């Protein structure tokens, strides 16, 4: 019985199957990080909590609407995560003094410490697993993942340093 090659070339690649392989690998990666508790073992943070924390600028308030756009999360899901983070003392949520409809979130010192610990663990895993990978390759993978999310999500992801464009101000809370 002859073996079938699992390698594909550009000419024979089925983009749909490759896309499914990519998504399955991303899912397996998340399960490896959370299932074995490699990164989130010291606390009760989820990957979603981590995504929220890493999108809050250090020592600055951020509007919840902008944070929702940065993370790609619905406001309902973001508010649920923020409630848990606030109960754990990792973020503070308050209303903006000039506009009571706008809620602001700020990472606390405890949240910054938790985020730093996770980042340190991530760097350790990165050194063991992708240490020999060219940074450009990881940047391309991240760009592809963001492009997929932006295509599928109701609102595009924005980088942490990107501010809303004119006319993209936060709408009233939907709580």
Q: Give kind and range of the element (H or E) at residue 92.
A: strand 91-95
The residue-averaged pLDDT of 11-29 equals 82
Q: Going from the N-terminus, what domains does the chain have, and what CATH number goes with each?
A: 15-152 (1.10.10.10)
Mean residue pLDDT of the chain comes to 78
What is the predicted pLDDT for the residue at 41?
55
Distance (Å, rounded) from C-alpha 108 to C-alpha 59?
8
Residue 110 has pLDDT above 50, yes or no: yes
What is the band of 70 on the pLDDT scale with cuts at 50, 70, 90?
confident
Rg (CA), the chain: 19
Distance (Å, rounded) from C-alpha 52 to C-alpha 39?
16
Q: What is the pLDDT of residues 123-174, one digit of tens each?
A: 888 888 888 889 999 899 888 888 887 787 655 555 544 444 333 344 433 3
């Amino acid at each position: 019985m002859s073996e079938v090659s699992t390698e594909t070339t550009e000419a024979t690649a089925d983009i749909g199957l490759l896309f499914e392989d990519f998504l399955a690998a991303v899912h397996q990666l998340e399960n490896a990080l959370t299932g074995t508790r490699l990164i989130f073992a010291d606390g009760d943070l989820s990957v979603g909590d981590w995504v929220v924390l890493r999108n809050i600028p250090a020592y600055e308030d951020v509007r919840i609407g902008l944070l929702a756009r940065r993370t790609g999360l619905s406001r309902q899901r973001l508010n649920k995560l923020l409630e848990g983070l606030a109960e754990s003392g990792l973020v503070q949520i308050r209303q903006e003094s000039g506009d009571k409809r706008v809620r602001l979130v700020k990472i606390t010192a405890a949240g910054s410490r938790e985020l730093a610990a996770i980042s340190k663990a991530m760097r350790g895993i990165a050194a063991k697993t992708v240490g020999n990978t060219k940074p450009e390759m990881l940047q391309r993978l991240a760009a592809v993942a963001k492009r997929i999310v932006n295509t599928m999500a109701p609102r595009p992801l924005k980088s942490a340093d990107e501010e809303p464009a004119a006319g993209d101000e936060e709408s009233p809370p939907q709580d």
